[in-house]
């Protein structure tokens, strides 16, 4: 881990290289060792890349795929659609993210900028792509800037796809070391008519360094137009391939909920349940949890973003879990609430059924035929929630309902990001193959203006739904949510 050790170890590296070169004399394995020695990269494969490829991961990828489940043609279509929507001589500068650090030298798991990933599938840090619209047959030129193959860096950080990989796998017409990004950007900025590029904000990207240099050299940056909104428009309606991946993503996360419900008992800690979810998702092929989960026992559920997840689950309480895995790039986002001891009390069941009725009523609206938006579904959810609460004895005004008891929106778009398409508002009419969440919730504080038997209870039921022409498709249907199904699941350990 510590790079400072590198210098001290350089003599060992030289010795290792000598050993490797000597292995070239073994005839039966000469081909693979020749490759090994010529690249000076400690790999176990003939060829190595910075992410799964059909060569290295035939168990999860088919020939022609750039990322698991997504073929080269689909990425090409995405780029082409983007460039087609732009005026002549436009240039797109798409930035990948850099490594982010938890503490000195210790990095977080890498997560790519999803717009960049959507356009090329490249999943290594410190990369960028420039697309220049032209009148070639392809319609644009694709230039990528990537971390080059480097024996010393790869010894520490693992294999990279390098410049050749960027061309061969990711379709670049030309590729350069990422250190050449500023110079190329400078050239492009001085000649292009329209530049589409986003400010990376706090995220580390190649642009941070580049901008400093551009300012130093006094280069006047011409009008830069936002890119992300255009990419988000393309990301709004999912392709058949994306829906297939999201089906699997939803199924994996749903199964994790089944296992977690079976496993919960009084005395289990929120932290243990977090570990259980991590295991049950990743063992089924998720690469990472899509967000820090909420695992909230009893009144901890009253806090929307309770992520400490460090208390013991108590007999008689409910546990609210908001957790989803990411699978082949696509997020799931599920919430279920169940009894720690496996049986709802009467009060818990009444309140739970109220939220479930709202959840089901909203899911029914998730069709193109309904010409409704997420805001429209939200307004419906508030109306139904009020009725449901009145049926069980609440006398609640709209202010209290929408500010205290049910203070969040009924849902959001879902895709590569958990909160997908963040620049597109929720008043758009839902179309076939858009994917959204439906997640009504109720959180009753310890306040005597609300019925005492419900105080301290927090419940949310969140599903992921593909908008259909006339029927919704629920990606998370395998995660139990009916009272009888949850109790059956909890009982059958």
Q: Per CB under 6 A, does 420 bind ligand GLY?
A: no
Beta-bridge partner residues of 146: 177
Task: Provide the b/e sequence for 321-343 (b: ≥16 CB within 10 Å).
Answer: bbbbbbbbbbbbbbbbbbbbbbe
- Site for ligand GLY (CB under 6 A): which residue of 43, 307, 418, 424? 418
Q: Which does 454 bind (CB under 5 to 8 A by kind): ligand GLY, Mn ion, none?
A: none
Of 78 and 412, nearer to ligand GLY (C-beta) is: 412
Near ligand GLY in 292-321, by CB under 6 A: none
Q: Per CB under 6 A, does 326 bind ligand GLY?
A: no
Q: Which of 65, 88, 84, 63 is nearest to 75 (CA)?
A: 65
Beta-bridge partner residues of 269: 312
Q: What is the CA radius of gyration of the chain?
A: 26
Q: Per CB under 5 A, does 333 bind Mn ion?
A: yes
Q: Which does 443 bind (CB under 5 to 8 A by kind): ligand GLY, Mn ion, none?
A: none
Cα(35)–Cα(43) distance, rounded to whole angstroms? 10
Q: Per CB under 5 A, does 281 bind Mn ion?
A: no
Q: Per CB under 5 A, does 359 bind Mn ion?
A: no
Near ligand GLY in 254-293, by CB under 6 A: 291
Cα(91)–Cα(119) distance, rounded to whole angstroms? 14
Q: Per CB under 6 A, does 115 bind ligand GLY?
A: no
* C-alpha distances out from residue 94 to 128, 142, 144, 213, Å: 6, 11, 10, 18
Count of residues engaged in binding ligand GLY, rule: CB under 6 A: 7
Q: Which does 291 bind (CB under 5 to 8 A by kind): Mn ion, ligand GLY, none?
A: ligand GLY
Q: Tell me the closest approach of the beta carbon of residue 394 to ligand GLY, in angstroms.
A: 24
Specify whether the CB–CB gap between 404 and 320 falls below 8 A.
no
Q: Tell me the closest approach of the beta carbon of residue 441 to ligand GLY, in angstroms.
A: 9
Q: Per CB under 5 A, does 420 bind Mn ion?
A: no
Q: Per CB under 6 A, does 322 bind ligand GLY?
A: yes
Q: Tell me the closest approach of the beta carbon of residue 254 to ligand GLY, in angstroms.
A: 15
Q: Per CB under 5 A, does 115 bind Mn ion?
A: no
Q: Per CB under 5 A, does 417 bind Mn ion?
A: no
Near Mn ion in 310-329, by CB under 5 A: 322
Of 242 and 322, nearer to Mn ion (C-beta) is: 322
Q: Per CB under 5 A, does 437 bind Mn ion?
A: yes
Of 317 and 322, nearer to ligand GLY (C-beta) is: 322
Q: Tell me the closest approach of the beta carbon of residue 109 to ligand GLY, in angstroms.
A: 18
Residues 6+ apart with CB under 8 A from 255: 280, 284, 478
Q: Tell me the closest approach of the beta carbon of residue 301 to ligand GLY, in angstroms.
A: 13
Q: Tell me the closest approach of the beta carbon of residue 62 to Mn ion, in angstroms.
A: 31
Pairing, β 224-225 against β 194-197: parallel
Specify whether the CB–CB gap between 155 and 123 falls below 8 A.
no
Of 154 and 322, nearer to ligand GLY (C-beta) is: 322
- Site for ligand GLY (CB under 6 A): which residue of 333, 417, 420, 463? 333
* C-alpha distances out from residue 303 to 254, 271, 462, Å: 23, 17, 16
Residue ranges binding ligand GLY (CB under 6 A): 291, 322, 333, 412, 418, 439, 462
Residue ranges binding Mn ion (CB under 5 A): 322, 333, 437, 462
């Amino acid at each position: 881990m510590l790079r400072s050790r590198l210098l001290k170890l350089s003599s060992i590296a030289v010795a290792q290289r000598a050993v490797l070169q000597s292995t070239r004399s073994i005839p039966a394995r000469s081909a693979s060792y020749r490759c090994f020695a010529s690249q000076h990269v400690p790999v176990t494969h003939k060829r190595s890349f910075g992410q799964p490829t059909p060569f290295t991961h035939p168990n999860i990828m088919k020939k022609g795929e750039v990322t698991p489940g997504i073929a080269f043609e689909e990425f090409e279509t995405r780029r082409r659609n983007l460039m087609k929507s732009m005026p002549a001589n436009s240039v797109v500068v798409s930035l990948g993210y850099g490594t982010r650090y938890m503490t000195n030298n210790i990095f977080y798991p890498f997560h790519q900028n999803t717009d960049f990933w959507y356009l090329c599938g490249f999943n290594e840090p410190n990369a960028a792509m420039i697309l220049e619209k032209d009148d070639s047959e392809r319609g644009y030129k694709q230039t990528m800037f990537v971390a080059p193959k480097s024996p010393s860096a790869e010894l520490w950080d693992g294999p990279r796809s390098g410049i050749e990989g960027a061309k061969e796998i990711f379709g670049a017409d030309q590729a350069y070391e990422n250190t050449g990004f500023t110079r190329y950007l400078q050239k492009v900025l001085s000649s292009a008519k329209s530049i589409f590029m986003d400010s990376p904000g706090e995220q580390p990207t190649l642009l941070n360094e580049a901008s400093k240099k551009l300012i130093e050299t006094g280069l006047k940056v011409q009008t830069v137009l936002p890119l992300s909104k255009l990419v988000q428009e393309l990301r709004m309606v999912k392709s058949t391939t994306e829906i297939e991946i999201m089906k699997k993503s939803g199924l994996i996360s749903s199964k994790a909920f089944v296992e977690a419900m079976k496993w919960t008992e009084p005395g289990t800690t929120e932290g243990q349940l977090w570990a259980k979810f991590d295991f049950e998702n990743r063992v089924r092929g998720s690469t990472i949890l899509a967000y820090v989960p909420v695992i909230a026992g009893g009144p901890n559920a009253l806090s929307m973003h309770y992520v400490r997840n460090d208390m013991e689950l108590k007999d008689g309480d409910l546990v609210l879990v908001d957790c989803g895995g990411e699978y082949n790039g696509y997020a799931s986002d599920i919430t279920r609430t169940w009894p720690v001891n496996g049986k709802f009390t009467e009060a818990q069941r009444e309140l739970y059924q109220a939220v479930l009725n709202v959840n089901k009523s909203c899911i029914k609206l998730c069709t193109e035929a309904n010409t409704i938006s997420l805001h429209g579904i939200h307004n419906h959810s508030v109306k139904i929630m009020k009725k449901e609460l009145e049926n069980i004895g609440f006398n609640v005004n709209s202010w209290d309902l929408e500010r205290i008891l049910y203070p969040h929106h009924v849902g959001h778009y879902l895709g590569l990001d958990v909160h997908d398409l963040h620049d597109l508002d929720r008043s758009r009419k839902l179309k076939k193959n858009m994917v959204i969440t439906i997640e009504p919730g109720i959180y009753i504080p310890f306040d005597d203006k609300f019925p005492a038997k419900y105080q301290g209870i927090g419940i949310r039921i969140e599903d992921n739904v593909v908008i259909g022409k006339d029927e919704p498709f629920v990606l998370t249907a395998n995660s139990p949510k009916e009272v009888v199904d949850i109790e059956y699941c909890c009982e059958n350990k």
